[in-house]
């Protein structure tokens, strides 16, 4: 089957996004995001896989990430850490949805390593 593969990163830790645009791996400089699982630079094995198989890497704000986490908790009773909610946050953006209206979308959710007090500190208005 023909599929498109998208990566997702926080705006404050977007080394893969910048690397894909530049065509070469770029280092992470002073990452700032609530998605602490995405604070590391690209690995030596990761970059060739991105080049070969990823069509684009899209970015979202920390606010969009917490919005996705809140949606998962309130609607699905799924606790997902910020890094694991980044892909859903991208899929929920207006830009992504408008480009993929009539298409089936799969989103990988991962990581339940979150303290429930996180929701109190970062809850949506």
What is the structure's pLDDT at 91? 97
DSSP 3-state percent helix, strand, coil across the chain (nearest 5): 45, 10, 45
At the second CATH level, the architecture of 6-121 is: 3-Layer(aba) Sandwich (3.40)
State the Cα angle at 34 between 33 and 38, rounded to 5°.
70
For the chain, 125 residues long, give each residue's pLDDT as a single digit of tens.
689 999 999 999 999 999 999 999 999 989 999 999 999 999 889 999 999 999 999 999 999 999 999 999 899 999 899 999 999 999 999 999 999 988 999 999 988 777 767 666 766 55
Q: Which helix (H) or strand (E) holds 50?
A: helix 46-53
What is the structure's pLDDT at 79? 87
């Amino acid at each position: 089957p023909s599929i498109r593969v998208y990566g997702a990163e926080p705006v404050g830790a977007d080394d893969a996004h910048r690397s894909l645009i530049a065509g070469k791996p770029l280092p992470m400089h002073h990452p700032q995001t609530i998605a602490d699982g995405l604070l590391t630079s690209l690995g030596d094995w990761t970059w060739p896989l991105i080049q070969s198989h990823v069509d684009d890497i899209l970015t979202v704000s920390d606010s969009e990430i917490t919005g996705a986490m809140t949606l998962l908790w309130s609607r699905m009773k799924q606790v997902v850490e910020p890094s694991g909610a980044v892909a859903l946050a991208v899929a929920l953006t207006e830009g992504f949805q408008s480009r993929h209206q009539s298409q089936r979308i799969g989103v990988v959710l991962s990581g339940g390593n979150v303290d429930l007090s996180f929701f109190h500190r970062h809850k949506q208005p």
